[in-house]
Structure 1
Amino acid sequence: MNKLSRITLGLLSAGLLASNVQAEIIKIDGSSTVYPVTEAVAEEFQITTKEKVTVGVSGTGGGFKKFCRGETDISNASRPILKKEMELCAQNGIKFYELPVAFDALTVVVNKNNNFIKPLTVNHLKKVWEPAAQGKVKTWNQISSSFPNAPLKLYGPGADSGTFDYFTEAVVGKAKSSRGDYTASEDDHVIVQGLSRDKNGLGYLGYAYYIENKSKLKAVPVVNNKGKIVAPNEANVLNGSYNPLSRPIFIYVSQSALKKPEVQKFVDFYMKKSAPLIKEVKYVPLPAKAYSHNIEVLKKGKLGTVFGGEAQVGLTIEELMKREAKL
């Protein structure tokens, strides 16, 4: 074999090796809300197994676009998959498992130095965030006469965020129905930075990001559907009183990806080892039987979603577990 042939063979071998190494990486993307949970699980998994996991943040909607094109193995989602995303997956032959992994208390927040805030009702929040408020509701006293005549500056997730979808459905009554004149980002850290610098700011984000930044932010209690003032915390999520802003968060696993041993190991690790990590990053773990139920879903090949491609709010942990998946 001449020198050129040996070089060519070496390059081909290196290419195949690189391809094999790349194939062994577990690719995850999606929700910034779910990111702290999956990243914590991925870190522990990599220490234990030496497998490689990448976790990106492009928002729930952005993550589903990648997932349904077959670019990722797992998608983090802070709301259920929607019909248009299911259609994209179907077009590309992507079948999937829907696995709830935790509950989140979607949190309304203001600057730490806000000294006039009071509990807000859903109607207060709707008055602020509905499309009709754009360019019109610009001061705090327009929300309530008990608030000062101070400029109202808003911060929240962008349109590719599952948090945006859930909040607009729960508060305005229709997913993605929102005013557009606010500082928007799929990255919750950007929302935190904005609110931490703005004493007149108001926004919303996942509970873990509030807890991580309690020195900069103040959580706003909300009035639930029974007229009770409730704060975002684990107890109120578990007893169902933190409504309508309590929600399940998910991972979606590609059926074809699950055939890869490393993905199988990761998902099994997630279901069996994540509960203490979920508490550590300040979300609410599901009951142990819920993770066992997820493992049964995988074993029995129950593909699809229990939500039928529709946005839903106010679902309790028990109600979630009683549903059957459908493609």
Structure 2
Amino acid sequence: MSKDSTGEPSSGLGRRSFLAGSAAVASTGLAGCAGTLADRAREVNVAGSSTVFPITEVVASEFSKERDDVTVSISQTGTGGGFSNFFCPGMTDINNASRGIADVEREQCGENGIDPIEFTVATDALTVVVSPDLEEVDCLTVEELRELWREGGADRWSDVREEWPDEEIEFFGADTTSGTFDYFAETILEEDDTHRTDYHATERDRTIVQGIQGNRYAMGYFGFAYYDENPEQVKGLEIDDGDGCVGPSLETAREGEYTPLSRPLYIYAARESLERPEVRDFVRFYLERSSTDLINEVGYVPVSEEVRDENLEKFEEVVEEVVDE
């Protein structure tokens, strides 16, 4: 099983490569960060989910056009890695998350005096992908998907349907520190199952694209944005949850038709960090734009105006409390 380092700097992502030139937005590793939040001025530090990363990156780029006095540094560490290694220890201000915070993570944050404030910022259509050359496979039932990804499950396509190729499958998926891993396992696998371990585990979704490009019989899964960026390189499979095959798209996710792999995406802001004006300004800017086409542009479904307003109301209540303290 191969694993990508999650502390390395990130590079440009397809059509978002223009972001790389933004002087005030730094996609950077946090492994060497030794300071605490109080030590930093005019900087907002973000870690966490690689799925939410494109949203935060494009928002940060837009923010930098208005606030070139603030640097927003973003690292892809996985949801769980971001919480346990950076956010809860007080080393970052915001954690990108492709699942809700776990009880053990909330407890760790509390032990360190960190109060995480949750905001929903988009909806994703988690996408199962194969090579376009695998013409025989276009749709999987949820039960077939379970059989493919459970420990001790199918190893060859013909194990799933006898008419499919009698070829060994090479599996690519999210690392165990990833919220995508957690969501996929909880949604697809049954209670007594475990996610298979004989797969290429990575926090770099581009690695999954490259792996599938190199093997006609490979398969993997990741957030919709990475499929949307690579429609010629990989094929997104339709999923049958009992009502027929439905493909991943912004529309099917928005309409609730792409089940069970549609999911909310979050950012968590440290209440303590909101004492700093630059963090408050960035989070407010982020929430205000979470209902706009900016989210569509990177391959996700924006939240409704109602959710946006609820987020902003909660945010302003917290800000009022921390400013008065």
Q: TM-score band (shorter)?
A: 0.7 to 0.9
Q: Distance in 2 between matches of 1:21 and 1:267?
A: 19
Deviation for aligned residue 1:176: 9.1
**Residue aligned with 2:152, SS:** helix
Deviation for aligned residue 1:175: 10
CA RMSD of aligned residues (A): 1.8
Q: Distance in 2 between matches of 1:287 and 1:123?
A: 32
Deviation for aligned residue 1:146: 2.4
Change (3 A) 1:106 1:184: same
Q: Counterpart of 1:201 in structure 2: which amino acid?
A: A
Relative to the length of structure 2, the TM-score reads 0.83
Q: Match for 1:36 among 37, 50, 54?
A: 54
1:110–1:202 contact (8 Å) kept in structure 2 = yes
Instruction: Verify: 1:178 aligned to 2:178, yes or no.
Output: no
Match of 2:229 in 1: 212
Change (3 A) 1:88 1:20: closer
**Residue aligned with 1:131, SS:** coil
**Residue aligned with 1:270, SS:** helix
Match of 2:27 in 1: none
Matches within 5 A, 1:3-42: 22-42=40-60
| Structure whose CA Rg is larger | 1
Instruction: Verify: 1:228 aligned to 2:232, yes or no.
Output: no
Match of 1:114 in 2: 134
Change (3 A) 1:176 1:29: farther
Q: Distance in 1 between matches of 2:193 and 2:119?
A: 24
Match of 1:319 in 2: none
Deviation for aligned residue 1:21: 8.9
Q: Match for 2:172 among 141, 149, 155?
A: 155
2:288–2:312 contact (8 Å) kept in structure 1 = no
Q: Match for 2:63 among 29, 42, 45?
A: 45
Relative to the length of structure 1, the TM-score reads 0.82
**Residue aligned with 1:159, SS:** coil
Match of 2:113 in 1: 93
Instruction: Verify: 1:56 aligned to 2:75, yes or no.
Output: yes
Match of 2:265 in 1: 249
Instruction: Verify: 1:284 aligned to 2:312, yes or no.
Output: no
Q: Distance in 1 between matches of 2:273 and 2:233?
A: 41
Deviation for aligned residue 1:241: 1.3
- Cα deviations across residues 174-225 of structure 1 (Å, max 9, x unaligned)? 599301001110111111111111111111000000011111000000002x
- State the aligned residue count: 280
Change (3 A) 1:231 1:120: same
**Residue aligned with 2:79, SS:** helix
Q: Distance in 2 between matches of 1:146 and 1:78?
A: 36
